[in-house]
Structure 1
Amino acid sequence: MDRDLVELRIHGGNLADSESWVYVWLLEGRVIYVGTTGLPPEIRTWLHLHDPDPDIGRMKALYPGIETDSLDVIAFRLPGSVPRPEAKVTVIAHLSAAGLLSERYVGDPPQRKSIGAEFSSLLDLITSRIGKHATG
């Protein structure tokens, strides 16, 4: 496949065949925000940083150190059967229980959530990757 070519299909006024992602923003190996998107992670991150609408440019609106802190964003593709809202709640609950949320966390508050088996490998991957960022 040609990596210099992108074809987008629009059906019913929306992007068709788009992927779903869960992404975490990290400050010094600790999670400050968790989100999900149907956009490519690079585009969603750019919107977080630059869109003046606080519902779209959430990190710009919520995180006071956005222009001075060095942050990392890591994104994980969701299986097609996993709804993004459920994935977000599950990931936040897991990261909170694992003690990985930063004192400067600005995302949705953790909810009590039982973790389904369909999430276990994704949660292991996310936790492992965050651990690699924490240790440098």
Structure 2
Amino acid sequence: MAPSDDAFLDRATWIDSLARLSDRASGDAPMENCLRLSRHLCALAPSPFDAIVDREIDEAAFESLLADQAFEAAAIQLIGPSLLHEIVAQPGSLTSARVWSEGHRGEATASARCPARALVLAWIGFLLSLQPDCAAQATGNSHKSA
């Protein structure tokens, strides 16, 4: 699914879809399905979220990662060049992930049994936390100080 200027969801639908994906990913939904849906949501990201997510993830390459069960690599692809991430895995415990951006306040963290799930949950959490900042950015009324 190649993005185009008019191929996006409205903001409320996109945010609702992210929240539902977070619920599924927090449960026992297959990781492959969560990653695939995440990639589709990237391609359909409305403004101003489209400046944060990578709308142009190569579908064939992403599907190849999923076919190879390289779920962590696929999750890293979702994060794209605009966001930073960190994964902390310790044997015998949950994996923690953190996603943030130097251009926005805050960060999101998540823990899960597998790194890919922790990373996807942190990525979704970060995007959901941007709602007020993105609304201000879209109207030009940012309240952040330098």
Higher relative contact order (CA 8 A, sep 6+): 1
The TM-score normalised by the length of structure 1 is 0.27
Which of the pair is proportionally richer in strand? 1
Structure having the larger proportion of residues in helix: 2
